[in-house]
Amino acid sequence: MAVKILGTGSFLPEKRVTNDDLAQVMDTSDEWISSRTGIRARHISVEETTSSMAVKAAKIALEDAKIAPEELDHIFVATLSADHATPSTACQVQKGIGAENAVCMDLNAACSGFIFGLQTALAYAKAGMGKKMMIIGVETLSKLMDWKDRSTCVLFGDGAGCAIVEADETRKVMIDAGSKGNMGDVLTCEERHLNNLLVKDDSPMQQVAMNGQAVFKFAVRIIPKSIHKVLEAAEVSEEEIKYFVLHQANRRIIEAAAKRLKEPIEKFPINLDQCANTSSATVPILLDEMNKKGMLEPGDKIVLCGFGGGLTWGSVYLEW
């Protein structure tokens, strides 16, 4: 049993912040940011929350899939920036769209989150535990940033992307995933400190911190390796893939992956110039953009790939 994508949706906050806007409040410039990353703008939440963006993306995906929310068996939400520890963002989406029959669960694999969520849906389909399932990647990363750290805060944005899948025994889907916890300290964001009747800790929590060079080296090595693995399992060549839909972290990473895979950069869609890095939301936002532009046709062979905090990675080969 495999899955097919029935529909997609995405949502970006109304407020768009350019590199020039950032240059007004910190020591940076459009040239400095764009030449190193390919990013020129990002969307930042003002009134939008993680759950509200997820709900809006979900409603668009339901409309695209032409199904009722009551038909959903599961809702999987990938996020590292939920509004609450509980209720889960998935339960808030359930409430927001009226998916009363869905079982809801959040998962956190940072920038690999949507891929892990899609792989979870595939596992549920194979086990006969779900037929129609919703996977959302959503982040409000702006609330986690140190806005005095110009080397990191300029890289990220907010947004939500969603895909609805259905179990389908006629499709071929192959997956690869992995984690490297011993490198986890190269990309971190603290949660609440231990603070109880026995321990008192009023020290401020640290915000997102990243060793960019270490993450870059990890990404350019693991992406082609993971993609080769799923293509080999699917018995499909790189030349047969119409698009490689990669996590939108840095244009240089995507260009390096294309070079190592010996495939033209045109097969690697990019929207990070306008959305920046939205972590778990990058792949589904880009996928929805491609879908809405009519770039995908039935039977197209594509590869989705995520990589990031944990460190984690995952790839999925599927047929549109």
pLDDT digit string, tens, across residues 146-200: 998 888 999 999 999 999 999 998 889 999 999 989 888 888 877 878 878 788 8
Cβ neighbour number for residue 16 with a 10 Å cutoff: 14
Residue 275 annotated to the active site: no
Region 295-299: mean pLDDT is 96
Distance CA 143, CA 141 (A): 5
- Residues 6+ positions from 294 with CB-CB distance below 8 Å: none
Question: Which whole-number Å values give the CA distances from 162 to 19, 86, 140, 214, 307, in the listed order?
Answer: 27, 21, 15, 30, 18
Q: Is the pLDDT of residue 206 over 80?
A: no
Kindly name the residue from 104, 277, 291, 305 that is annotated as catalytic: 277
Question: Which whole-number Å values give the CA distances from 188 to 20, 205, 255, 308, 311, in the listed order?
Answer: 27, 12, 25, 10, 10
What phi and psi, each to the nearest 5 degrees, are found at residue 301?
-95, 125
Residue 271 annotated to the active site: no
User: Ramachandran region of residue 280, left (φ > 0), alpha (ψ -120 to 50) or beta?
Assistant: alpha
pLDDT of residue 242: 98
pLDDT of residue 18: 97
Kindly name the residue from 247, 250, 291, 305 that is annotated as catalytic: 247
pLDDT of residue 213: 85
Residue 258 has which token pair? 């294309």
What phi and psi, each to the nearest 5 degrees, are found at residue 284?
-70, -30
Residue 31 has which token pair? 């040239």
What confidence category does residue 215 fall into, taking pLDDT thresholds of 50, 70 and 90?
confident
Contact (CB, 8 A) for 10 and 285: yes
pLDDT of residue 239: 96
Q: Is the pLDDT of residue 273 over 90?
A: yes
pLDDT of residue 186: 82
Q: What tens digit of pLDDT does each residue of 108-121 get? A: 999 999 999 999 99
Residue 277 annotated to the active site: yes
| Low-confidence winner among 15-24, 73-82, 154-163, 178-187 (lowest mean pLDDT) | 178-187
Half-sphere exposure of residue 133, counting CA atoms within 13 Å on the CB side? Answer: 27
Kindly name the residue from 19, 43, 91, 111 that is annotated as catalytic: 111
Q: Which amino acid, one-letter code, is at 267?
A: K
Instruction: Count Cβ atoms within 10 A of the Cβ of residue 179 and give its class: 0-12 exposed, 13-18 middle, 19 or more buried.
Output: middle
- Domains, the chain, ordered by start: 2-168 (3.40.47.10), 174-269+292-319 (3.40.47.10)
